[in-house]
């Protein structure tokens, strides 16, 4: 794998040069590279290897491909493949498209290193590579992107430094950085140190995964990043947080622990319950905040917060059904994040905006984009027969079967609340009345459609045949010694009941066909002018409409917003804290570095006196 990393590094230069000649060429090269990665990973299903790259002086980097990280590596390659396919057309107007593609290749390299690492030093090195490359990529967006990128980098560096402290503590007690030594010495480490290490890593995972309350960087970072980069940010980089949580909540402890009682509920274990509760809070906070957004991408960003909550809730809960559901939900979220962000990017490509209040009626112009978005949101809301339903079903099964009603309520809240927020872009962007300025908007070019349709197809297929979604994760469960969830080709068996997705799909499909049949044969629709549908010809000046506009998408959920207007906002706290720190720094500069000779001499005398006095007394 180290050769792959060097190839990736060289490829980034090559892709930069190619993209300077012609943007689509550079994107195609990246697509071929990541497509080759996807193919290679699928072909090496079931195989594994470990590889060491010595750096001299006792330092070495260890890489590994094995059951436990195969799904994540595949996820990385897949996201890059889809996004670079999309980017073949989408980067035309971007100012620094060549640097964008080169940095994206470097992100691919860093993801390879992060997910493929088998020791903590490698993990950290590639995590930092990921941080600074993604910092530049986020900065390339529209106005406000630079501030967003700085907040994102700041939070990522906090996560990085938490990790490096924990890693060095591990190195001190086990004498090396590798995962296997850590697992070997896991029981022997002093429990205080072990707890600190786990807390630091989990805190870093929460920050990077965008979980409440350290989620506030997500909104501006996803919202203001370049449209082509937001899918990568949400679909891939945030997954590092989930991967880290997976390692420390699941992989390490269970590999080490005895095999007795694996299906027992672990949520009664205090710390795990706290973490699960944080996940639940994140679900609810993300859902509510998403409902209040009026920018499409920021709305989807909060949806990521909410889904991160599902993953953390499930992984912290610990029963085999919950774990399998949580891990599967990672993949489901990848698909839905790609679907939603790519369709928003497609809309922005043609209309130049993501502000939902400005748009409407684009279903007539962009039917493919509409379909992609529709399938994505059906999956997000957890509606059968798509993939989102499978993972959410499993999580809620696990919660309900073990009697955790509060957490189950939080999970339901997320599902139901998501109906509200996913519907808004659908209604405000695609349905309703189309503004005049968007009359001639066309559907997006071929490659962009292709990439979106691949995602849609996968969402549908994995929903009908959840075997392909769940098999990698049940194999992980076997690998680490947990009892795997029983799955059939399209069936999932839980302790209470079973779910047959093929049956669900047939029922849904059959009902849809029946309804279509009835509609085509018997219903005689009457065409009406659009304004007649909305206001029966009445003008509503208090909502500042003009006679032509009857599509009320401004203030869509205003009454809902009033319900939550006085709730605390973590983002506001962060900004207040930042301004306090800023003022404090100003005071330091004024007092210690003021430019006057008297001041300097007094300072020198003061320091001398303090130093001597400390010794004397």
| One residue of 136, 186, 468, 534 binding other proteins per CB under 8 A | 136
Candidates 147-155, 271-279, 442-450, 469-477; binding stretch for other proteins (CB under 8 A): 147-155
Residues 530-589 that bind other proteins (CB under 8 A): 582, 584-586, 588-589
Please say which residue, 125 or 570, places its beta carbon nearer to other proteins: 125
Residues 72-131 that bind other proteins (CB under 8 A): 96, 99, 125-126, 128-129, 131
Quickly count: other Cβ atoms within 10 Å of residue 18's Cβ. 21
Cβ at position 562, least distance to other proteins in Å = 36
Residues 172-231 that bind other proteins (CB under 8 A): 172
Counting contacts by CB under 8 A, is residue 149 touching other proteins? yes
| One residue of 28, 73, 140, 348 binding other proteins per CB under 8 A | 140
554 to each of 286, 288, 359, how far by Cα in Å? 21, 18, 10
Please say which residue, 73 or 148, places its beta carbon nearer to other proteins: 148
Sequence-separated (6 or more) residues with CB below 8 Å from residue 439: none
How many residues bind other proteins (CB under 8 A)? The answer is 53
Please say which residue, 506 or 592, places its beta carbon nearer to other proteins: 592
CA 598, 600, 604, 607 torsion-angle sign: positive
Please say which residue, 405 or 600, places its beta carbon nearer to other proteins: 600
| One residue of 158, 185, 257, 281 binding other proteins per CB under 8 A | 158
The residue whose two tokens read 């029981």 is 187
DSSP string, 398-415: HHHHTT-HHHHHHHHHHH
Please say which residue, 61 or 340, places its beta carbon nearer to other proteins: 61
CA-CA distance, 285 to 308, in Å (whole number)? 11
| One residue of 132, 419, 479, 552 binding other proteins per CB under 8 A | 132
CA-CA distance, 242 to 337, in Å (whole number)? 15
Candidates 50-58, 295-303, 323-331, 421-429; binding stretch for other proteins (CB under 8 A): 50-58
Please say which residue, 56 or 547, places its beta carbon nearer to other proteins: 56
Estimate to the nearest angstrom the gap between the alpha carbon of 479 and the chain centroid: 26
Cis peptide before 213 (omega within 30 of 0): yes
Long-range CB contacts for residues 357-360, cutoff 8 Å, separation at least 24: 357/294, 357/428, 357/553, 357/554, 358/435, 359/428, 359/429, 359/435, 359/438, 359/553, 360/428, 360/429, 360/431, 360/432, 360/433, 360/434, 360/435, 360/438, 360/551, 360/553
| One residue of 78, 81, 120, 135 binding other proteins per CB under 8 A | 135
Cβ at position 485, least distance to other proteins in Å = 38
* CB-side neighbour CA atoms (13 Å) of 21: 10
| DSSP single-letter state for residue 59 | E
Cβ at position 176, least distance to other proteins in Å = 12
Q: Pattern of binders to other proteins over 592-611, x per CB under 8 A?
A: xxxx-x-xxx-xx-xxx--x
Cβ at position 436, least distance to other proteins in Å = 32
Written in H, E and C, the secondary structure of 448-501 is HHHHHHHHHHHHHHHHHCHHHHHHHHHHHHHHHCCCCCEECCCEEECCCCEEEH
Please say which residue, 153 or 431, places its beta carbon nearer to other proteins: 153
Pick the closest to residue 116 from 176, 179, 203 (CA basis): 179
577 to each of 145, 207, 566, 589, how far by Cα in Å? 21, 17, 19, 19
Cβ at position 159, least distance to other proteins in Å = 11
Sequence-separated (6 or more) residues with CB below 8 Å from residue 335: 376, 379, 387, 455, 458, 459, 462
| One residue of 79, 153, 314, 485 binding other proteins per CB under 8 A | 153
Please say which residue, 172 or 576, places its beta carbon nearer to other proteins: 172
Quickly count: other Cβ atoms within 10 Å of residue 171's Cβ. 17
CA-CA distance, 44 to 481, in Å (whole number)? 22
CA-CA distance, 69 to 50, in Å (whole number)? 12
Q: Pattern of binders to other proteins over 291-330, x per CB under 8 A?
A: ----------------------------------------
| One residue of 168, 406, 514, 539 binding other proteins per CB under 8 A | 168
| One residue of 25, 171, 374, 420 binding other proteins per CB under 8 A | 171
Site of interaction with other proteins (CB under 8 A) = 55-57, 96, 99, 125-126, 128-129, 131-132, 135-136, 139-140, 146, 149-150, 153-154, 157-158, 161, 164-165, 168-169, 171-172, 582, 584-586, 588-589, 592-595, 597, 599-601, 603-604, 606-608, 611-612, 614-616
């Amino acid at each position: 794998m180290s050769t792959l990393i060097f190839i990736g590094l060289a490829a980034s230069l090559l892709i930069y040069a190619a993209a300077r000649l012609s943007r689509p060429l550079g994107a195609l090269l990246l697509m071929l590279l990541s497509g080759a990665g996807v193919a290679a990973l699928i072909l090496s299903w079931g195989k594994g290897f470990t590889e060491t790259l010595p750096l001299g002086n006792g330092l070495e980097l260890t890489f590994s491909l094995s059951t436990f990280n195969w799904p994540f590596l595949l996820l990385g390659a897949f996201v890059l493949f889809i996004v670079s396919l999309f980017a073949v057309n989408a980067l035309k107007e971007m100012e620094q498209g060549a640097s964008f593609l080169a940095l994206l290749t470097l992100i691919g390299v860093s993801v390879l290193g992060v997910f493929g690492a088998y020791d903590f030093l490698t993990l950290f090195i590639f995590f930092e590579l990921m941080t600074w490359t993604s910092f530049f990529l986020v900065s390339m967006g529209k106005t406000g992107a630079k501030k967003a990128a700085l907040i994102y980098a700041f939070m990522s560096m906090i996560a990085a430094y938490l990790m490096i402290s924990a890693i060095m503590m591990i190195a001190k007690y086990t004498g090396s950085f590798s995962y296997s030594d850590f697992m070997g010495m896991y029981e022997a480490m002093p429990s205080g140190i072990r707890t600190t290490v786990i807390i630091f890593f989990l805190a870093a995972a929460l920050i990077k995964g965008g979980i409440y309350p350290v989620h506030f960087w997500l909104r501006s970072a996803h919202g203001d990043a370049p449209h082509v980069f937001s899918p990568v940010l949400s679909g891939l980089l945030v997954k590092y947080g989930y991967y880290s949580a997976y390692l420390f909540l699941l992989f390490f402890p269970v590999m080490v622990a005895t095999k007795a009682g694996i299906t027992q509920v672990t949520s009664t274990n205090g710390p795990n319950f706290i973490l699960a509760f944080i996940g639940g809070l994140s679900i609810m906070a993300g859902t509510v905040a998403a409902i209040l957004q009026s920018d499409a991408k920021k709305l989807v960003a909060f949806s990521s917060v909410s889904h991160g909550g599902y993953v953390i809730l499930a992984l912290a809960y610990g029963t085999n059904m919950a774990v399998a559901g949580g891990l599967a939900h990672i993949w489901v979220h990848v698909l839905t994040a790609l679907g939603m962000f790519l369709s928003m990017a497609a809309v922005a490509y043609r209309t130049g905006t993501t502000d939902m209040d400005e748009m409407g009626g684009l279903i007539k112009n962009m039917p493919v984009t509409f379909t992609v978005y529709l399938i994505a949101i059906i999956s997000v809301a957890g509606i059968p027969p798509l993939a989102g339903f499978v993972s959410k079903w499993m999580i809620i099964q696990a919660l309900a079967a073990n009697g955790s009603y509060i957490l189950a309520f939080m999970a339901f809240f997320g599902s139901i609340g998501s109906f509200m927020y996913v519907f808004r872009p659908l209604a405000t962007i695609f349905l309703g009345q189309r503004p005049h300025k968007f009359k001639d908007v066309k559907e997006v070019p071929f490659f962009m459609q292709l990439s979106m349709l691949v995602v849609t197809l996968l969402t549908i297929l994995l929903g009908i045949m959840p075997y392909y979604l769940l098999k990698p994760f049940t194999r992980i469960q076997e690998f680490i010694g947990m009892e795997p969830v029983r799955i059939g080709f399209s069936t999932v068996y839980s302790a209470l009941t079973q779910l047959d997705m093929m049956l669900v799909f047939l029922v849904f499909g059959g009902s849809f066909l029946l309804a279509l049949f009835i509609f085509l044969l018997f219903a005689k629709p009457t065409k009406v002018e659009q304004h007649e549908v909305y206001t029966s010809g009445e003008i509503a000046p208090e909502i500042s409409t003009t006679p032509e506009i009857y599509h009320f998408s401004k203030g869509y959920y205003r009454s809902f917003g009033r319900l939550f207007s006085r709730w605390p906002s973590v983002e506001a706290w962060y900004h207040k804290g930042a301004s306090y720190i800023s003022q404090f720094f100003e005071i330091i500069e004024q007092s210690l570095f003021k430019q006057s000779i008297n001041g300097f001499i007094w300072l020198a005398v003061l320091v001398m006196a303090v130093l001597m006095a400390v010794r004397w007394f």
